[in-house]
Amino acid sequence: MTVQSTSLGRRDLFRLGLGLVVATGAAGCASGGGSSSGGTLIGPKSPKVEAAERARQIAGARRTSIKLTALQTEFDLGGVTANTWSYGELPGKEIRIRRGDLLNVELRNQLSQPTSIHWHGVALRNDMDGVPDLTQSEIVPGGSFTYEFTAPDPGTYWFHPHSGAQLDRGLYAPLIVEDPEDGGNYDTELVVVLDDWLDGLGRTPDAVFEELRAKGMPNMDHGSMPGMPAMPKSDLLGGDAGDVIYPHVLANGKVWKAPQTFAAKPGQRIRLRLINAAADTAFRVGVPGVPMTVTHADGFPVVPVELDVVLLGMGERLDCVVTVPDRTAPVLALAEGRGQFAQVLLSTGVAASTDNESLAAELAKLVVPEMNALQATDSVALPLREPDVTHDLVLEGPGDKYSWTINGKVYDPTEGLPIRSGQVVRLRMQNKSQMFHPMHVHGHTFQVRANGKTGPRRDTAIVLPGRELIVDFDADNPGQWLTHCHNIYHSEAGMMTVLSYVE
């Protein structure tokens, strides 16, 4: 039996869940031989999902219970007051657990729209992945949902809704999974969450998305219209750096003029956990005059390397250890291609100017190394093997009505890319557009293969315009997993597909 995709609404797919048979031949570009033939979908409610969760559970795990409310609130961004949606703080209060712990979060929705929470980067059970209509029903206004899952891998993660453009409001927070072995190379840590901000200052992300749709193809007349701001451009990003103009960028919820101050001591080693929670902005980050030792990409360890400046696409995280100098030093985050920055001050007590515009201008001139050239440590690197199945993801846009496509199609949850448990899966992402795309895979941490070399393990990686990026992963987490660009406007406009376990 073959279910016609036209006869299936998104909601229906989730309700049918287990036992659904799809026409996987329609997925088109599978090139792994016979393994792309059709099969029964392994849905979020499959016993296989339950079994994978049991295999993750470890002895001595703790259970952490948290209650969250998504609601409308006002925040002082530092002389600017924004009326927005949040989990009560900006950024949301971090959740901190230990590797292997069971996390239980009850989310109550007091918003006027349905919502959800996606636990970005966590290899969790599929039915807790927080994708409305694919892995759960949306959480209606006034409703609630309890997420409960084991977090198997230590690292810097975060969470946000997977509903509309809600990510571009204040609905985001860090999720830190500690390793009992953490702490050897640093004395203290500081989480820095970066964001581009427009909500509640006369526009909403929903209105911005409608504008993009109405305009069709944005970023075409770069500053050529009198009185119109130039659209963001960046050589580092190989072309367009954004589709939306933001009045502010924030570090830990504050504009650059009113930065958060972190009390630090000279000589102290601080593990910076950098998280890019922006919707449309890549950030370059540096501490002028202070080298950063990069230790983790998207939570997974890399061979430590000392850099003056790093780059984070939307959704990405980097952990870097810095040694505090004998003066107050800013952690500067430049919105790539936008001439805007945000900062957090590592304060040694000596009063320092927060007027770091000239330092930011210097940072903008540095050469930023290729982040996909970071190398996974031997402990986590995936060995190079012939893939059992290869899927191409051709990234294009913007088309008519600002559509962004993968393999020529906008998102359709019934037309996933089939994979099977136990396979080595290769994704060949080809960017045929003028803009960079931070491509994110749910539920797995892939191995970047840059120029045949072993790159970092990551769950999100930038694919530059005109370039191809190859990533491999072990299909070891059954379910239906979204794969998409982490530019929220691109993903809303269609740049998403499903890695679909079948049997």
Query: Which stretches of the chain bind ligand C2O, using CB under 6 A?
Result: 118, 120, 160, 162, 315, 440, 442, 482, 484, 486
254 vs 486, beta carbon nearer ligand C2O: 486
Phi, psi of 61 (to 5 degrees): -65, 145
CA dist., res. 74 & res. 465, Å (int): 38
Partner touching 485 among ligand C2O, Cu ion, none, CB below 5 to 8 Å by kind: Cu ion
Binder to Cu ion among 287, 382, 427, 485 (CB under 5 A)? 485
CA dist., res. 301 & res. 304, Å (int): 8
Partner touching 445 among Cu ion, ligand C2O, none, CB below 5 to 8 Å by kind: none
Partner touching 437 among ligand C2O, Cu ion, none, CB below 5 to 8 Å by kind: Cu ion
Binder to Cu ion among 490, 493, 498, 499 (CB under 5 A)? 490
| Part of the chain binding Cu ion (CB under 5 A), chosen from 21-29, 45-53, 244-252, 481-489 | 481-489
Phi, psi of 47 (to 5 degrees): -60, -25
CA dist., res. 404 & res. 425, Å (int): 24
169 vs 490, beta carbon nearer Cu ion: 490
Cβ at position 121, least distance to ligand C2O in Å: 8
**Edge-to-edge strand order for the sheet containing 292-297?**
248-251, 188-197, 269-276, 317-323, 292-297, 300-307
Partner touching 440 among ligand C2O, Cu ion, none, CB below 5 to 8 Å by kind: ligand C2O
Q: Residue 484, interface with Cu ion (CB under 5 A)?
A: no
Cβ at position 363, least distance to Cu ion in Å: 25
91 vs 398, beta carbon nearer Cu ion: 398
Backbone conformation region of residue 230, classed left if phi is above 0, alpha if psi is from -120 to 50, else beta:
beta
Q: How many residues does the chain have?
A: 503
Considering all CA atoms of the chain, what is the largest pairwise distance in Å, rounded to the nearest integer?
72
- For residue 154, whether the previous peptide bond is cis, meaning omega lies within 30 degrees of 0, is no
442 vs 449, beta carbon nearer ligand C2O: 442
| Part of the chain binding Cu ion (CB under 5 A), chosen from 40-48, 241-249, 444-452, 487-495 | 487-495
Binder to Cu ion among 317, 437, 442, 444 (CB under 5 A)? 437
CA dist., res. 344 & res. 190, Å (int): 10
Under a CB-based contact definition with an 8 Å cutoff, are residues 46 and 481 in contact? no
Cβ at position 495, least distance to ligand C2O in Å: 11
Q: Which two tokens stand for residue 484?
A: 């998409």
- Contact residues for Cu ion (CB under 5 A)? 437, 485, 487, 490
